[in-house]
Structure 1
């Protein structure tokens, strides 16, 4: 508790600033004259308080102030939301292709058994930290050629608007706590077993056509979601 309070005071007083690396466990153990076990317990408490975050293989870092993001309660994409808040956003396309819709995709998008979808799997990095891992499916009939489009560091919604004239008019979203797979934890640079926020979404246009289904895993230690109810 003494170590935790000491580190907390250094963070809240500004001695350690946002995204600054803390000394390693070995260094903290030597500085404070305590065991590595005590250091790990103190750091775990600070993670729980969201004052620090850990990146696998790199250590512990001071958490920035969590930005309120609104895309869960709106029809804007997460990239547009983040850019509007002044964040630095990079998107890597991990997989891109087309094929027959799975039963889950067909049900979500109101497709027949033989209809095809374009699939994307992307990793979004915000201010240098992995933030969102998302699987997306779109009916191929609405977005022909999207499986070959260049989407690296580009907004999907802006591409849909410019290239296909598709704009979101409404969406349903479901949120749940999820334990990621080993691969997902590695991509998002979190410790195995770290709970993530799972976001499932179905989006439709002004004519009621469902044009996008996605399932995203989000590191909720980096931001908090805002949903306004009026």
Structure 2
């Protein structure tokens, strides 16, 4: 027997009744961390999962809750946006995938897309300083709002076919695999909180009091360096999560404060 009853046959769709009750319970502070899962809500109200999904979809659309693919819905942060996009530490970082998984609309404004030589970046990738690199800089948007400034460098010798791609609505990694046969399957990454410069604050639409996550990545395909990436992600809209267990566990080697060449964080699962 269900714990809550919806009225059938009065002309009001069940999903609409469920939506109203879930909103009321949300406003009353009943769901501090997360809403019950679809099965639990279906059993509690005596309705189908389709009805539950429709109600939750409406709540996501109006910003009341956020939910990634395969995850329970949870109350949104202030303004319905804070922290609504997550990136697990146990899989390759991808803004495109993270934004799509959060149910947001992904779009990019391409600011720079050219071939250039950059000795500093080439050295970081273990390449000769004069190596030509494909440089792509994008302002990443989620639901039309600035989320990140993303800069990536790729060896032209393998990445030249990407110069014909429109990266306004597509992710880099799928195109890298499809057009160049390159799969980024490993690497080193450094994540730290910083206060961006004024120009980047204006791009991201944030004030001086909002920190961003600075993510630097050396991407590898096997043992071959195929990517250097520097991304600044709004800290009020993005979070990094980790999964662990008593059996497998995880390990993060943090960068030592004050060093010129910090050790990138590493996450391992035996």
Q: TM-score scaled by structure 2?
A: 0.59
The within-5 A match list for 1:23-102 is: 51-52=77-78, 62-64=79-81, 66-67=83-84, 69-70=86-87, 72-102=89-119
Mark the runs of 5 or more structure 2 residues left unpaired by the alignment: 1-25, 29-61, 65-75, 244-249, 251-268
CA displacement, residues 45-101 of structure 1 (integer Å, 9 cap, x when unaligned): xxxxx943xxxxxxxxx1336335225542252202321332211111111111112
Name the SS of the counterpart of 2:183 in structure 1: coil
1:50-199 to structure 2, matched below 5 A, reads: 51-52=77-78, 62-64=79-81, 66-67=83-84, 69-70=86-87, 72-103=89-120, 105-199=121-215
Deviation, 1:116, is 0.9
Partners of 1:63 and 1:222 within 8 A in 2? no
Q: 1:51 to 1:78 in 2, by over 3 A?
A: closer
- Which of 27, 32, 51 in structure 2 is aligned with 1:13? 27
Name the counterpart of 1:36. none
Q: Matches of 1:181 and 1:113 in 2, distance apart?
A: 27
The separation in 1 between residues aligned to 2:63 and 2:100, in whole angstroms, is 19
Unaligned 5+ segments in structure 1 are 1-11, 20-49, 53-61
Give the structure with higher Rg (CA): 2
**In structure 2, how many angstroms separate the alpha carbons of the residues matched to 1:89 and 1:224?**
17
Q: Deviations over 1:141-170 (max 9, x none)?
A: 111243343222111101101100111110
Instruction: Give how far 1:129 is off.
Output: 1.9
Relative to the length of structure 1, the TM-score reads 0.69
Taking the aligned partners of 2:182 and 2:151, their CA distance within structure 1 comes to: 19
Alpha-carbon distance change, 71 to 157 in structure 1, aligned in 2, over 3 angstroms = farther
- Tell me how far apart the structure 2 counterparts of residues 107 and 132 of structure 1 sit (CA, whole Å): 25
| Equivalent position of 1:27 in the other structure | none
Q: Which has the higher contact order (CA 8 A, sep 6+)?
A: 1
CA RMSD of aligned residues (A): 2.5
Match of 1:214 in 2: 229
